[in-house]
Amino acid sequence: MEPKDVWRAVWRHRLLVVVIMVTTGVAVGVGLWLAPKSYVATATLSAASSPQATPTDEDLDSLRGSIGELANSEDVLEEVATRLSEPRSVDDLRTSITGQWVQGTILVEIQATDSDPDMAAEIANTTAEVIPVYDPSNGSFLFTTSNPAQPPTTFTSPNLLLGIGVGALLAVVLAVCGALLRERRVAVVGAPQVEQLAEAPVLAQMSQPRDPSTLPALYPGTTAADVFRQLRIALEAEASSDPVTLVVVTGVRPAGVHVWLGANLAVSLASVNRRVLLVDGRVGDQEGRPVAADSDGVGLYDVLMGDDLDSALNPGPVPDLTVLSSGQWGGEPSDTLLETRFSTVMEEASRRFDIVVVLAPPLDECDDARVMAAGGSVLLAVPEAGVAQRDLRQHISRIRSVGVRLLGVVLVTKRPERISS
């Protein structure tokens, strides 16, 4: 994956990125706040040469180095432990106290680390007081605590700057990984990927309508109507070797785009003198129909229940287009009716019309589209952004598992309409 692809994924899922970064930042902040704190106090011990000292300067410096090491000796640690106001074990003091000679000077620094800042200062000062008792120089030095340790006001561990830096890096890494995982799950599916997954052609690419209740195919000569003209031509070319009389139009998301697509396709087919029946097969869905039902409400439900097909047919907005609305669904289970009666009704309709276009519920909602398409074909509307390749593969596999022919795919984009060549 190229850097620009990573950036696009991050930008496309920017809300998720922000949530991950904020959550990680809060978690890191809470972790730093709750983490055990360590404080370091430093006492400075002056080891000036005594007037009675006979060693050379080099020997004195060597002895000062030994004094720094003496701070961690067993005798000193045991003595310090007995003098402290709060108990500390020798083992704890061994890891807490360090001493070193400041080269080029007469100073020895004693550092003490503790979870209590006051105790850290007390340990450093007590160690500075105990060291002269165990002076290894035989009186060569005059010891003075030149700079007593003060209780530190800030902790040294955990390191705030390091923690914030690591937390920021972790937040960025997690946010990018989250965006990439989301991108993989809800992938931008383009025409090449769709054709490869579906093993069916992309018959058209068109932008998602602002108003899915419109019928631009009613206005020949316009750019919008030409989109559906090109789709009709591509559809007829695909079906030329194996003609179909039943086309079920469905989608993979409940956005209603496939309903708009199927209704306009039916209008376009009727405009070239094809006798078309548009069937609203959305069980119980009473909203968003492209063509209003008759006032008495007779529709597909009534026909499945035994009414005559003619009683439920209504003229469409153009000649040669007839509409069978969904009807007022009653108490009979819709899935049972579709499985037992729908194919019989469609066989009768196929004998009377050149082509039957069925508007089915989306595949994400139910299996009605697969049941309706038995013995026919499916035209699938796929959003370019918003469906994972894995999910699309599963939907297509389920369609083909019942022997339904996937006639083609319409890729719905958010860009200006463009018809595939």
The pLDDT tens digits for 213-228 are 888 888 888 888 888 8
d(CA 382, CA 189): 8
Domains of the chain: 3-33+158-184 (no CATH), 39-147 (3.30.70.1130), 189-413 (3.40.50.300)
Highest mean pLDDT among 256-265, 295-304, 364-373: 256-265
pLDDT at 216: 87
Q: Is pLDDT above 70 for 6?
A: yes
pLDDT the model gives residue 194: 73
Mean pLDDT of the chain: 83
Q: Choose the weakest-confidence range: 40-54, 178-192, 239-253, 254-268.
A: 178-192
Instruction: State mean pLDDT over 334-361.
Output: 88
List the one residue out of 61, 84, 146, 56 whose CA is nearest residue 110.
Answer: 146
DSSP letter string, 7-33: HHHHHHTHHHHHHHHHHHHHHHHHHHH
In 35-159, alpha helices (H): 57-70, 74-83, 90-96, 117-130
Q: Is the pLDDT assigned to residue 387 strictly greater than 80?
A: no
Residues 359-376: pLDDT tens digits? 988 888 888 888 888 878
Q: pLDDT for 152-187, tens place per residue? A: 998 888 888 888 899 899 999 998 888 878 766 665
Residues near 417 by beta carbon (within 8 Å), at least 6 away in sequence:
205, 206, 207, 223, 224, 227
Q: Give the tens place of pLDDT for each residue, 120-161.
A: 999 999 999 998 888 777 777 788 888 999 999 988 888 888
The model's pLDDT over 273-293, given as tens digits with 9 standing for 90+, comes to: 999 999 998 875 444 444 444
Complete edge-to-edge strand list for the sheet that includes strand 313-315:
202-207, 405-413, 377-383, 246-251, 355-359, 276-280, 321-324, 313-315
pLDDT of residue 418: 43
Residue-level pLDDT at 370: 85
Q: 278 versus 53: which is more confidently predicted?
A: 278
Banded model confidence at residue 189, pLDDT cuts 50, 70, 90: low
**Single-letter amino acid code for the residue at 160:** L
pLDDT surpasses 80 at 31 = yes
Tokens matching residue 115: 């979870």
- Percent pLDDT > 70 in the chain is 87
pLDDT at 86 over 80: yes
